[in-house]
Amino acid sequence: MSRPVFAHGRLRLYLLKLLDEAPRHGYEVIRLLEERFHGLYAPSAGTVYPRLAKLEQEGLVEHSMEGGRKVYRITPAGHAELEARAAELAELEAEIHDSVSQLADQIREDVRDSAQDLREEMRRAAKESRRQTRFGEDASWRTDRESWQRAKEEWREAKEQAREQTREAKEQARSAKEEAREAKEQARAVREQAGREARRIGEQIKAHVRSGDWPSGLSEGLSELTKTLSGLADSSRWSSPANGGTADAPAGAGAAAPQDLPPWTRVDPDGEPLRELSALLDRFRDEVRDSARDAGVNRDSLDHARTVLADAASRLRRR
Amino acid sequence: MSEKWTVSEPQKITFGEPVRRVKVRTIAGAVNVVAGEAPARLEISEIDGAPLEVTVDDGELLITYEDLQWKDFQWKALSRFIDGWRQKRRAVVSLIVPAGVEVEIGAASSDTVVSGIAGKVRTNTASGDVTLVRVSGPVDANTVSGAVEAHGTSGGLKINTVSGALTVFAGTSGALKANSVSGAMTVDLDRPAAADVELTNVSGEVAVRIPAPADTQVRADTTSGSISSSFDQLQVSGTWGAKRITGTLGSGTSRLKITTVSGSVAVLRRPDEDDNPSAPEDSIPLAIDHQKGADEA
């Protein structure tokens, strides 16, 4: 690549020349450079100011404050330097007007330098901003640690929440199971009691039938059954079947232990309660029907049975 | 009228007829196009390998190798043709043309400088850097690994790079739209209500600096990159994973949109400065009342 116009301190030389013409402030120097290059080259402030400062360090220029701005002027030493390099300056000026490619190189170098400076400055600013706006005053590794910490915290919370939910769900499942077990228990107790009552009543009816008093036996049996079933349908019995069942049950029924019941009242304790109940009712029906077939049924007893059974059903439905 | 030159050694040509459009196609070396007073001048200061052909036809100046077409500089063809010719041909081509011309440059590894042009500028390069200085026309620049540096441009910029870095500074008043895969993007806006800026990057970092008080609607998203903002008015959300900066500065006349996948994003406040940030010890205001200063001088 061709040699830049201002390589090897030639921009420095040209700055001296500009200040030799007249004292100028920094901006004016930049503007004049631009002008001398017919607008083709606009050196950045980042190129010019440090060089002016360096010239001042070397004692070739000095500055004074005028209206709040630094105005640079050449010193005798600077003037001497310029005179000593007059030939070089003439060559430079010729080149400036002559070579576009060198000019372009200069532009490129200048822009590249300024861009580089800007990138570094903004990278620093970004780093600073990341530190200040997000995570306090420490270095960037801390940023990582803090966000990691935060992530861990969030994760822990999420885990806690999940665990809580699991615990609740388990709790619910357990209590649901408990309820189901209790319900089953109650259902079984009721079933057994119903079975006992039905059996007892069945026995009574049979006794009446045997003694030839079928209608009174049937009506008596059914009313007895109604009473007992309505007692069973009492909601208090459902909630505490163990106590209520025995306390309110007729003495005979309460005394009757399960093993004393006739075979048709037997139920499977592990079976599905609803199915067991319907099986029990089937067996009860068979029992009553068999007895009725043996002894015959008249209209009155049938009506009575209707009323009683409907009533019993509605009571059983009511919890 | 058509004129033609074949240039095989360093040469300067001054064109008699006006030039309205410039097309340059080279492989290695440099291409410089600077605005200046008519007549248009060409300087080929270095040349190795095959001769360059220079043609002026009806206001269009074409500088190219005999066998090179503009289509060779399109995205898909670019990598294919570089390998073959890169080593064999090298030229430094410089042009002074009237500011208003349209410029189209295709270069493989040549560095490109375009300065002061007010017409449309289009450059396609592979590894060559592109430097745009005080270009006021609309720019469409594409590079593979070459960096793009835009200084003091005032037209719209449309820039695509694969891994080349992008630096835009000293102001842009036209819209800026840039895409990159991994090239870092540094944008320094120096006007409060600069035009819309849209930057998209995959893994390259993006830093945008806005002067305060600003007048911009900001929206920045990154999927996994880090994010930071030095404006209190902007909200930074998302603690891990995807993050976002949103908010409106001032009345939100212009829009700033940044999207990256893994590149970090920074929206920064421009330091209050009348002087040059690189030389903070110097308190000279750069842009205030220079007329008065000149009078004093």
Q: What is the pLDDT of residues B234-281, one digit of tens each?
A: 888 876 678 899 999 888 888 999 999 999 999 998 876 544 444 333
pLDDT score for B87: 56
**pLDDT tens column, B15-55:** 988 999 999 999 889 999 988 877 888 989 889 888 999 99
CB contact under 8 A, B297 and A24: yes
pLDDT score for A289: 80
**pLDDT tens column, B49-95:** 889 999 999 999 999 988 777 777 776 666 666 555 555 788 999 99
Show which of residues 10-69 on chain A sit within 8 Å of chain B, judged by CB atoms.
22-28, 30-31, 38-42, 44-46, 49-50, 52-53, 66-69
Longest dimension (CA), chain B: 67
The interface predicted TM-score of the complex, written ipTM, equals 0.76
Residue among A98, A125, A73 at smallest CA distance from B186: A125
Higher pLDDT, A209 or B256: B256
Give contacts of A1 with chain B, Cβ < 8 Å: 30, 92
**pLDDT tens column, A282-293:** 888 888 888 787
> Residue A88 pLDDT more than 80?
yes
Residue-wise DSSP of B41-75:
EEEEEEEESSPEEEEEETTEEEEE-TT--GGGGSH
- Under the banding of pLDDT at 50, 70 and 90, the label for residue A113 is confident
pLDDT score for B275: 42
pLDDT score for A237: 44
pLDDT score for B277: 41
- Under the banding of pLDDT at 50, 70 and 90, the label for residue B218 is very high
**pLDDT tens column, A122-160:** 888 888 877 765 543 333 444 455 555 666 666 666 666
- Under the banding of pLDDT at 50, 70 and 90, the label for residue A72 is very high
Give contacts of A30 with chain B, Cβ < 8 Å: 286
> Residue B288 pLDDT more than 50?
no
Picking from A40, A117, A125, the nearest residue to B36 by CB comes out as A40
CA dihedral (A266, A271, A272, A273) positive or negative: positive
> Residue A183 pLDDT more than 80?
no
Size of interface A-B (CB pairs under 8 A): 185
* Average confidence (pLDDT) over A258-276: 74
Q: Which residue of A has its CA nearest to B32?
A: A104
pLDDT score for B213: 80
Q: Which residue of B has its CA nearest to A129?
A: B230
> If you average pLDDT over every residue of chain A, what do you get?
72
**pLDDT tens column, B162-216:** 999 999 987 666 889 999 999 999 999 877 666 889 999 999 999 999 887 888 8
CB contact under 8 A, A108 and B293: no
- Among A49-53, A296-300, B227-231, where is mean pLDDT lowest? A296-300
> Residue B283 pLDDT more than 60?
no
Sheet holding A61-66, edge to edge: A24-25, A69-74, A61-66
